[in-house]
Amino acid sequence: MGKVIALIAAAIAVLALLWALTPPADAAEEPVDVAIVFVMDISGSMQRDEIAFAREAHVLAITSEPMVTAIVDGAYGRVAMAYVEYADGVEVRVNWTIVDGPESAFAFARQITALPPGHTLGNQYTMIGAGLLAADRLLSALPYAAGKIVVDVVGDGTASDFKAVDLGRAAILSRGATINAMPLMLKPDNDLAGYFERYVIGGPAAFAMPVKMMSQLPQALRSKIVLELY
């Protein structure tokens, strides 16, 4: 009898340990309407003031009334956002964050505003592929159940790491995600939109929305992200 009791006690202990190590089902499956990774170019082709302006455009778009309204009007009333920058290297500047209203939108935006200025990741290369691969790593660790997944690339140059673009793009599309882009066509005779359309964007309803003047960026970016939320 003593052996039976000991075996039962041991089994209970093992079950308790397994239960403790298993996260609640809803911990990894909290639903969000959309998961968006913003991927932004801060390479040497971007001037310091253009980097600052592009970041500010993201801040203005994310905190705008139309965008916050689009978020709260969703089925779950919340989205997950992350923000990545690339140049010679890549860095996740803002990790996954729930945005579900004005307060959380401003909290996310403040993290972008607080970033150090200028070419903090080098100024020799334009590693779009590294940016896409970083976005894919974020998606692999996404702690929410997203009804829609979007990777949103903003940049003013073609990739220095062309093979990595193929790898990152394929990995993201294999998740059923969409890659959209906003080519900054600030130089004359620039077919950057065609480049992004051929080699970067992809997935359901993917599109590239070119911008030809930096002054157009805040409004264009806001319109683009609101479209991605629906």
Domain that holds residue 35: 30-229
> Domain containing 88 — which CATH number?
3.40.50.410
User: Residue 165: which of 200, 121, 136 has the closest Cα?
Assistant: 200
Confirm if 72 and 101 have CB atoms less than 8 A apart.
yes
Residue 3 covered by a domain: no
Residue 3: the pLDDT is: 43
Evaluate the CA torsion angle 197, 158, 112, 92 in order and state its sign: positive
Q: Rounded CA gap, 109 and 113, in Å? A: 6
Q: How many independent structural domains does the chain possess?
A: 1
Residue 69 lies inside a defined structural domain of this protein: yes
How do the residues of the chain divide into helix, strand and coil, expressed in percent and rounded to 5? 45, 20, 30
Residue 18 lies in a domain: no
pTM of this structure: 0.86
Tens-place pLDDT, residues 167-189 = 999 999 999 999 999 999 987 66
Greatest alpha-carbon pair distance for the chain in Å reads 88
Residue 111 lies in a domain: yes
Q: Considering the domain boundaries, does residue 130 fall inside one?
A: yes
Residue 109 pLDDT grade (very low, low, confident, very high; cuts 50, 70, 90): very high
Q: Does residue 12 belong to any structural domain of this protein? A: no
Model confidence at 12, in pLDDT bands (50, 70, 90)? very low
